[in-house]
Chains A and B, each alone.
Chain A
Amino acid sequence: MSTLKDYGSFETAWCPGCGNFSILKAVKQALVQCNLAPHDVLFVSGIGQAAKAPHYLHANVFNGLHGRSLPVATGAKLANPHLTVIAESGDGCNYGEGGNHFLAAIRRNIDITLLVHDNRVYGLTKGQASPTSPEGFVSKAQPDGNPSLPFNPVAVATVMQAGFVARGFAGEMAHLTDLICQAIAHKGFSLVDILQPCVSFNRLNTFSWYQEHCRKLENSYDPTNQRGALDVAMMDENRLPIGVIYRNKRPSFKEKAEGSSSERAFGLQPFNQALFEEVLAHYY
């Protein structure tokens, strides 16, 4: 049995009142609830305020480059399928710089959990519009207002038949913990887009704004119906549904590659000279 204490507590580089604190708590709690030991978990993050989160708990960590958490996580999971691999980073990191990896990871359906701290802004670089910033969002870089339409990650993931698509809110800790737990348990790619206020740079989507606009999906809601799920994923800002929006049982990358070699990839395998001779024989 693992406990919250196993995951430790650290001093952070976040602003007081930041949504990251409750997300971190929910992540730790979810790991305990899933009964995972710190050494069985690998966090892969990018760069940004959100991407620092793995430094603030006990686990294996690869804190890579801005936008590149998913490819590193993919390589890691292929190399060692026994690890629980969690990619964790911001909205800018995952939907902007790493947008192509986001699409590819959904298609590939490798067994990775992606946690996106979605504060709708580039926090670390001090407030420029991110892919999820609303149209008209004003910043020093967008003085006339953000001219672009926001990216809707849960709708895109639903259209692409991602295995598990959820939206959480940093202000709903218990609910968020449960979503993260389900995402980890899901065999295949899972997305939890986590709505989060940025106390320093997002004056529009504040804590109380989210509280007013977020609605939990009801128990009667059926997340297995893709068309229905898409309607929910595309609901406008006045009613932001949170919960498991869509899920399916699409075979994961590993299941499709079953019989191939992934189990043998990592570890201290002795070199097999006989097999190598077999390979060389192709060239006589």
Chain B
Amino acid sequence: MVKRNSSKTICIGGEAGQGLVTIGQLLCKALVRSGYHIVITQSYQSRIRGGHNDFFIRTSVDPVAAPSKTTDLLIALDQASISEHGHLMNRDGLVVLDAILDPETHHALKVPFKDLAGDGFLNIAALTIAGALLGLNESLIQKLISDTFHKKDKAILEENLLVFEKALKWVREAAPAFEGLPPASPKGPRRLMLNGNEAIALGAIAAGVRSGFFYPMTPATSIMLTFIKHARTMGIVFEQAEDEIAAVNMAIGASFCGAPSLVATSGGGFALMAEGISLAAMTETPLVIAVAQRPGPATGLPTRTEQGDLLFVLHSGHGEFPRAIFAPGDVEECFSLTQKAFEISEKSQGPAFVLTDQFLADSYRAVLPFDRIDTKPLQSVAHAPDTKTPYQRYALTPDGLSPRLYPGMSHHLVIADSDEHTEDGHITEDLSIRKKMVEKRLKKTALLLSERIPPSFTGDSHPHVLFICWGSAKGAVEEAAERLRTPSLRTATLHFSQVWPLAPDDFLPVIQSAGVVVSVEGNATGQFAGILQRETGLRLEKQITRYDGLPLTPSYILSAFEKIDEGH
């Protein structure tokens, strides 16, 4: 866990279209290859060009898992970066900016970008200067540039390398006062650099998913774009649907035929999918939907973050049926829980959800190569030689699970119905069958519970202060708890990476062993605290919430906690 102030935060600010994301991604790669840990926060506006965007990199020798409020190195590509972030600079911070911009009162390094990089190579010059200031190995940066551009024209690669050398020479001579990063060891195991959405797509691929359907919506789109990028290699079919209603129904059709399917969307698109979720439950078709939350209601803030759709996902779809909802806390969990969601969805023959948000979606981290949980192939019952004729898709069984066949894979006929149906899948209005079928579907809750992931507890036992959180809040809350700890104040965090179904025995003793219990959520109404109260009767009166569109940070949590503590 990161110690106070042992990390550095770099902010690259500028207009959309200036290439700040490219600079950010390259600098991240350089840091990861050098052996540092990273947490990225991307803050951007819902437009293609112009506006003000930021790419924050918090980096450290020790693991980091949360963004920081303040900045040490500001790479300002526009004047707005200085007015937006100048006041959040740490005392020894440095502003790197184009010679034509005004550094105001800040300690600054004015760079003649035009001379160094001409038109079009600003990103390489900025990368080189930032790398040098942070103390990264020069040949590592040079190799990164070669790796990045070797596929392009040879002349372009050479031009890039020329800019690198020029910028390096310039910054060495300029030699501004700035304390770089403490050395890290690049010797450790090779790590991957990817964000939450990429990890969700890879988790789905690792699970054995064979199809994917979507309608574009920020911040979910990059899940499907990553998925599609690897579709050909992995033998996956995909289609951009005409709307979210079509996307979810296509997924159900594909899944019904034996091609497990990934669907990704955000709140508004998810609203359109609600009837399809109910359809998956009624027809007992596996379905996994990744919901990347952004602030609502309605169109809300398309490119910002919030944990505001938990209750919506929990209650989506008409009628009564079981479901599993996973809420990854970091990039590793985006991968592992997506794989888990597919496994549970196939096993329970019903809907499962992966609930993420814009912060985690866009947050790059360095992770060890994923260990695929070596599950059996998702499709397990395509051929069942001992199946009796006529095959009963909805045969009543003690655990509510009926043997599943796929249409066209044997001489058996597979009949599924969105109407209430008989065991053989035909529409019925026989009310005694209705009752049995309701009970059959609800029995599957037992399977979901037996496979649940209990919340993770970190910190001191019998804590004086216990923070409760879920999903992407994990890193910020755990760091806040860590920072709050003193020899006389025991602190801990209870993080839920599966938010439904819940088994109170997993966590009630821990909560009851704590002194002050505080829930921390990225929404205005404390939705998870509400669920806990409903399920356990436990009332969490102390709540820290954030709903301004920005992610929770340790400092935000600590200053909110101070206020709670004063009122106490």
Interface residues of A (CB under 8 A from B): 13, 37-40, 42, 44, 47, 52, 55, 58-65, 68, 70-80, 82-83, 100-101, 103-104, 108, 260-262, 264-273, 275-276, 278-280, 282-284
Contacts and interface: CB of A to CB of B under 8 A. Distances in A.
B451 interface: no
A138 B406 CA distance: 45
Interface string B279-290: 100010000000
Nearest to A283: B192
A75 B208 contact: no
B418 A75 contact: no
24 contacts: A42-B407, A52-B427, A58-B413, A62-B256, A62-B283, A71-B247, A71-B253, A73-B253, A75-B249, A75-B250, A83-B407, A100-B243, A266-B257, A267-B379, A267-B382, A268-B379, A268-B382, A268-B383, A270-B377, A271-B206, A275-B233, A276-B205, A278-B233, A279-B234
B233 A78 contact: no
A80 B379 contact: no
B426 A55 contact: yes
Contacts of A101: 242, 246
Contact of A71 (B208, B241, B257, B283): B241
Contacts of A269: 208, 210, 235, 377
Contacts of A278: 233
Contacts, number: 204
Given A39-B412, A71-B249, A104-B246, A265 B427 contact: no
B557 interface: no
B538 interface: no
Contact of B370 (A55, A75, A280): A280
Interface of B: 190-194, 198, 202, 205-206, 208, 210-211, 213, 229-237, 239, 241-243, 245-247, 249-259, 261, 275-276, 279, 283, 369-370, 372, 377, 379, 382-383, 406-419, 425-427
A61 B257 contact: no
A113 B281 CA distance: 27
Nearest to A54: B415
Nearest to A59: B413
A272 B247 CA distance: 27
Nearest to A253: B239
A68 B245 contact: yes
Nearest to A97: B245
A40 B279 CA distance: 24
A95 to B, nearest CB: 15
B413 A72 contact: no
Most chain A C-beta atoms within 10 Å of own C-beta, residue among B232, B259, B410:
B259
Contacts of A76: 253-254, 256-257, 407
B245 A284 contact: no
B193 A283 contact: yes
A76 to B, nearest CB: 4
A80 B258 CA distance: 8
Given A63-B427, A68-B249, A100 B382 contact: no
Nearest to B259: A79
Nearest to B32: A284
A75 B411 contact: no
Nearest to B380: A268
B275 A78 contact: no
B211 A260 contact: no
A265 B231 CA distance: 10
Given A65-B279, A71-B245, A279-B202, A78 B239 contact: yes
B418 A64 contact: yes
Contacts of A61: 413-417, 425
B209 to A, nearest CB: 10
Contacts of B254: 75-76, 78-79, 265
A284 B198 CA distance: 13
A71 B250 contact: yes
A261 B253 contact: no
Contacts of A38: 413
Given A62-B416, A75-B211, 15 more contacts: A55-B415, A55-B426, A71-B247, A72-B253, A74-B250, A76-B407, A79-B210, A82-B408, A83-B408, A100-B243, A100-B246, A104-B241, A272-B234, A275-B233, A276-B234
